[in-house]
Chain A
Amino acid sequence: MKFFSHFGKYLLMLKGMLSKPENPKLYWKEYMHQCSEIGIGSLGIVMIISVFMGAVSAVQTAYQISNPLINKIIIAQIVRDTVILEFSPTLICVVLAGVVGSKISSELGNMRVSEQIDALEIMGINTKTYLVLPKIAAAITTIPMLVIVSMFLGVYGGRLTASLSGVLSADTYDKGLMEQFIPYNVFFAMMKAYTFAFLLSSIPAYFGYYVNGGSLEIGRSSTKSVVITCIVILFADYILAALLL
């Protein structure tokens, strides 16, 4: 019962943010600010994780393919496909649910508790449109870009490790990358990136926007939003895989 009540309130929040901005210029400024906060702010962690993700993936794939009859070129293909299909969109978005999601939730929660949201309401501003919409729009714009960066860096991380550890030469790795490449996989990964970007910004926004109480509740709601977002992302991952693959 509680789930339906939250879900209904979440849908109403999404509906409520679709109204005409009072001053499009200020909304654009806020959107650009959020793009910088979410996109540029998360670039560092995404880059580090992606390189290591690809590197570990290459080492572990090489370890499992010990049969001399199997062409080692397949290591590059496995790294490429796992990075594109799963690691970059899903793993990166789960990490971003923690980084970006908790930030959105605690920022809105703090504004709610310190009555800043009420102050905006009193001024006649639709706070859902002014505070929530730019965050979701910025996440939908920047997170797929981060996923693309992650794909390149993940594959590059695998190449670097494979060549440095002597598992595969850089040339062979590059050759493997070009073979049996399915462009649809990138489309599928982007579909996941857009879906997860929406989820990881809107769910924490809901928890932050409707927080009640003080600083303790802000912390609790931030943690809860990250946990729920991660679960919903994994569930959506399964649904999208079942539908689109």
Chain B
Amino acid sequence: MIEFRNIKKNFGDKLVLNDVSHVMENGKANLIIGTSGSGKTVLQKCLVGLFEPDAGEIIYDGMSFTHMDEDHRKMLRQQIGMLFQGSALFDSMTVEENVRFPLDMFTKDKNLVKLKRVNEVLERVNLSGSNKKYPSEISGGMKKRVGIARAIVLNPKYLFCDEPNSGLDPQTSGLIDKLIYEITKDYNMTTIINTHDMNSVMEIGDNILYLKDGKKEWTGTKNDIIYSDNKNLNQFIFASEFLQDAKQMRMMEKK
């Protein structure tokens, strides 16, 4: 479980996060949604320590991340996996070397054990047989899956995904969502996903935080979102006529 209280973050004069508090639950897909520039990525980067919040507190399973010294943070980070928007794979390494890198850095296992674990996670993300390929030789969807494999290879307790569907076709997006969701359930992880993909929201949104202009505007689940009367949320979620019609139909079905 990750809890954050009263997070504030400024960049110069611009207030990007304004007093945001929420609890990200264990074993659930926790979504942070909002329009571009609403502060989703900044919030996620604050949670993993890439940005320092100007005020507020972040708590990982009862431990204050905000007041932790650098050594303890490093220890905690070994329990965090992160999938970046652009996958952030190391260009000079093959798929296998990319996934194996955290194992090489933090474990003293024998090569065969490491290779077994790499193949295990590659199989989990449906990438068996791609070990020797370089990032430049694989598609965007495959890169995301390699990113997921690298993020989960050390069995992390917390998984962060920044826009996992960006730049992917709807079918591949769906597969990535499904994969993240299954991994969350299988490994009982606390998963935090930044997205503005509505399919993701409706498919895997166990716990949703909606940000508007850096402020917490709404929280709930994928089931609550349909019936929410929050104007800003409805404008954001049901931006297209098609989705508005779908919402109307669901409302009528309920009645």
Contact = CB atoms under 8 A, between A and B. Distances in A.
Q: Do A and B bind each other?
A: yes
Interface of A: 22-23, 26, 114-116, 118-119, 121-126
Interface in B62-97: 73-78, 80-82, 84-86, 88-91
Nearest to B48: A122
Given A22-B105, A115-B85, 6 more contacts: A22-B106, A114-B88, A118-B88, A122-B80, A123-B101, A124-B106
Nearest to B154: A123
Contacts of A126: 74
Given A115-B86, A116-B88, A125 B48 contact: no
Contacts of B174: none
20 contacts: A23-B106, A26-B104, A114-B86, A114-B91, A116-B90, A116-B91, A118-B84, A119-B82, A122-B48, A122-B50, A122-B82, A123-B101, A123-B102, A123-B106, A124-B73, A124-B75, A124-B76, A124-B77, A124-B106, A125-B105
Contacts of B75: 124
Secondary structure of the A contact surface, majority rule = loop
Contacts of A118: 50, 82, 84, 88
A115 B88 contact: yes
A210 to B, nearest CB: 14
B84 A115 contact: yes
B246 to A, nearest CB: 35
Contacts of B90: 116
Contacts of A119: 82, 84, 88
A201 to B, nearest CB: 19
Contacts of A26: 104-105
Secondary structure of the B contact surface, majority rule = mixed
Contact of B77 (A23, A114, A116, A123): A123
B75 to A, nearest CB: 7
B105 A123 contact: yes
Which of B49, B78, B84, B105 has the most chain A CB atoms inside 10 A of its CB? B105
B212 to A, nearest CB: 26
Nearest to A29: B104
Contacts of A116: 88-91
Nearest to B85: A115
Nearest to B106: A22
Contacts of A122: 48, 50, 77, 80-82, 160
A74 B88 CA distance: 59
Nearest to A121: B50
B52 to A, nearest CB: 13
Interface in B30-73: 48-50, 73
A60 to B, nearest CB: 44
A23 B105 contact: yes
Contacts of A124: 73-78, 80, 106
A170 B138 CA distance: 60
Chain A to chain B: the 5 pairs with minimum beta-carbon distance, closest first? A124-B77, A115-B88, A119-B88, A124-B74, A122-B82
Contacts of B81: 122
Interface string B96-128: 000001101110000000000000000000000
B60 to A, nearest CB: 13
A122 B48 CA distance: 7
Which of A26, A114, A118, A123 has the most chain B CB atoms inside 10 A of its CB? A123
Contacts of B80: 122, 124
Interface in B137-161: 160
A10 B84 CA distance: 27
Contacts of B105: 22-23, 26, 123, 125
